[in-house]
Amino acid sequence: MQGNSNVGAFTTVGPEGTDKSPQEIRAYWSPARKKAAFPAHRYGTAADMSDLPDAGNAAPATEPKQADLSQMPFITGGKLFFTLDGVDYVASGNIFMRNNLLLTAAHCVQDDVTGHLAENFVFERCFTGEESTEDFTFKTVALKEFWHEEKDNRWDYAIAVLNESSTVETPLRYTKDSPLGKNITAMGYPLNYFDGAQMMYTSGPVTQRLDNWTLIGGKLGEGASGGAWVLDDGVTAVGLNSFSTKTAKGGVYMGSPKLDDDFEKLYNYVLTLI
């Protein structure tokens, strides 16, 4: 997907400008190419590197565990494969709000420095190393223009319209209510566990740093980008894996953009693209 069009405050990556059919995109992703794909990741900015003021009072996230893909919210998740500037990458995402929508990170769609857009999108739900429950190509995917313009983690989200509908009975929903202090489960396919072949999750209370939600001690590494943060009800998303960083004293934490009014504007815009 090479073409893009700016509509209001949104950037849309659409099928125009590509000469590949969904079948050709699926064929592009051979098992060897999937295995060789680089895990997508984003590190915190210089401003994120200082110690969190509330780090000493927050309980750390649990050690990551392998997810049960037959249970919510994990059944909505999967691996996202894409190509950016000729390089193949792998990240994470979740079926979201409708059976043909996917929530992921903006940095899995557009390079925030160059503005170049990704292509060859394939999402494999419940990926288990060699196979998945079902796979999808993208009809279109939208994100905020501010992601490239301001290069700020708070805009690091994107919503894709899939070419087909998932069989997931309960897609994730979202809330704009603050999750501060509430327990969440973050999920994805980090390279630092099972070489990224299995979905992993970690849980802990949400804290805040600058304009982002944070999870102290979160250890989901490269490749988990785009995986959802879900409340204990197992269905309500409050964020996603955007970046990770270390504090000045060596502590680690993961960060997420807020699913706020600006996010809702993006979601409502995407509904016009279905």
Per-residue model confidence as pLDDT tens digits over 233-262: 999 999 999 999 877 666 788 999 999 999
Mean pLDDT of 72-83: 98
Mean pLDDT of 212-231: 95
Residue 272 buriedness (CB in 10 A; 0-12 / 13-18 / 19+): exposed
pLDDT reported for residue 146 = 87
- Whether 69 has a pLDDT exceeding 50, the answer reads yes
- Whether 7 has a pLDDT exceeding 50, the answer reads no
pLDDT reported for residue 3 = 44
Counting residues of the chain whose pLDDT is more than 70, the rounded percentage is 89
Mean pLDDT of 100-115: 95
pLDDT reported for residue 45 = 56
- Whether 13 has a pLDDT exceeding 90, the answer reads no
Confidence of residue 56 (pLDDT cuts 50, 70, 90): low
Domain boundaries, the chain: 4-40+76-169+261-271, 46-71+172-256
- Whether 42 has a pLDDT exceeding 80, the answer reads yes
Q: Is the peptide bond before 22 cis (omega within 30 degrees of 0)?
A: no
| Total length of the chain | 274
At 154-203, the pLDDT tens digits run 999 999 999 999 999 999 999 999 999 999 999 999 999 999 999 999 99
How many C-beta atoms lie closer than 10 Å to residue 200's C-beta? 26
pLDDT reported for residue 53 = 52
List the alpha helices (DSSP H) in the chain.
22-28, 31-36, 146-150, 261-271
Collapsing DSSP to helix, strand or coil, 88 comes out as: strand
CATH for 46-71+172-256 is 2.40.10.10
> Which residue, 218, 215, 186, is CA-closest to 52?
215
pLDDT reported for residue 74 = 98
Q: Average pLDDT over the chain, rounded to whole?
A: 90
- 161 alpha carbon, distance to own chain's centre: 14
Q: Which tokens go with 76?
A: 């909505």
Q: Which tokens go with 121?
A: 């999108």
- Whether 81 has a pLDDT exceeding 60, the answer reads yes
- 28 alpha carbon, distance to own chain's centre: 22
Buried b (16+ CB within 10 A) or exposed e, 158-167: bbbbbeeebe
pLDDT reported for residue 1 = 44
**C-beta separation of 228 from 202 below 8 A:** no
Q: Roughly how many angstroms between the first and final C-alpha of the chain, as a whole number?
A: 18
Q: Pick the more confident residue, 16 or 10.
A: 10
CATH for 4-40+76-169+261-271 is 2.40.10.10
E strands within 96-133?
A: 101-104, 119-125
